[in-house]
Amino acid sequence: MLSTFDIGIDLGTANTLVYSKNKGIAVNEPSVVAIDTVSKNIVAVGTEAKEMIGKTPEKIVAVRPLKDGVIADFDVTTEMLKQIMKMASKKIGFAMRKPNVVVCIPSGSTSVERRAIQDAVRNAGAKKITLIEEPVAAAIGAGMPIDEPVANVVVDIGGGNTEVAIISFGGVVAFHSIKIGGDRLDDDIIQHVRKEYNVLIGERTAENVKMEIGFALIDHEEKFMDVRGRDLLTGLPKTIKLSSYEIRSAMKESLLHILEVIRATLEDSPAELSGDIVDRGVIITGGGALMNGMEAWLSSEIFVPVQLAPSPLESVAIGTGKALQYMSKIQVAVK
């Protein structure tokens, strides 16, 4: 059973979440750190740091220490985790002792990348660390019966990557991942606006465009959005009107890559599990799952039912927190 001091951490490219049995999601902060480049001190972490992106003086930079689901800057990740675990300790109450931590890892990560995550969490103040593969955690968090001999297909569309896994009897039967997620879709929008309008927009603006008028479905009711950016010809601020049709076109290639990965995983499914997949369908989690029309688009492309997880943004974190209950049944999946 989970003790009071067991916590689960979803160390994501876009957001870091901390889950505890008693408090549920105790912390949900963007994986962003603002650093003073002169003194090397941490200025802000999480939401406060994200607000600074693109708005800071030269000596302060807002960075994302994780890239494509793995640690890109070890020291900054460790400092970020320390701050996030401090936030969690205030809400959960493990200040007097080190917590046991279950932390998720991308299924395709190397032993070096896994060791880096372990070391960063240990340096941030964890006692015992257990690693669990992200799709398994997402499936547990979405309430799927992963310990039963039936096919559980989970598609986790995160900030840095998309992972697709078929899980049965506590283990990963088939798995594929791609380093394309929400961040790539944001970049697609930035590049489109730059190319078509000669206007430069920031990451946060692109993310807002994606959430407001980004559609996975080709056939949808057209929506428009006014966007402000910097005219690359005059250097002056400029407002342009974007259509949901052109945004869908800008994201088309990345969305097709995500679709290819889902198809490749389904093709690797053992014949005995294929019937389960037709009956039970696919569960989608992660921030990318919330895109307008994502369920309908995927369902029409792969010809099986597609459902949104109950809490798509929190599924992995909830799964890491609940994983210890399943540990004896998912030993294959935990490394």
Q: Is 100 assigned a ligand-binding role in the annotation?
A: no
- Asked whether residue 287 is marked as a ligand-binding residue, the answer is yes
Is 14 annotated in some ligand binding site?
yes
The answer to the question of whether 72 is labelled as a binding residue is no
For residue 110 the two structure tokens come to 């190397």
Report d(CA 57, CA 335) in Å as an integer: 43
> Is 207 a known ligand-binding residue?
yes
Ligand-binding annotation for 15, yes or no, is yes
Strand (E) positions, the chain?
6-11, 15-20, 24-30, 33-36, 42-45, 60-63, 66-67, 70-71, 100-105, 129-133, 152-157, 162-168, 171-178, 199-200, 224-231, 237-243, 282-285, 306-308
Q: In 3D, which of 64, 61, 82 has the Cα closest to residue 73?
A: 64
User: Which residues lie closer than 8 Å to 99 by C-beta, 6 or more apart?
Assistant: 5, 6, 7, 85, 92, 125, 126, 127
Q: Does 221 show up as a binding residue in the annotation?
A: no
Query: Is 133 flagged in the annotation as binding?
Result: no
- Least Cα distance to 134 among 175, 167, 104 occurs for 104
| Residue 34 marked ligand-binding | no
Output the known binding site.
13-15, 207-210, 287-290
Output the known binding site for ATP.
13-15, 207-210, 287-290
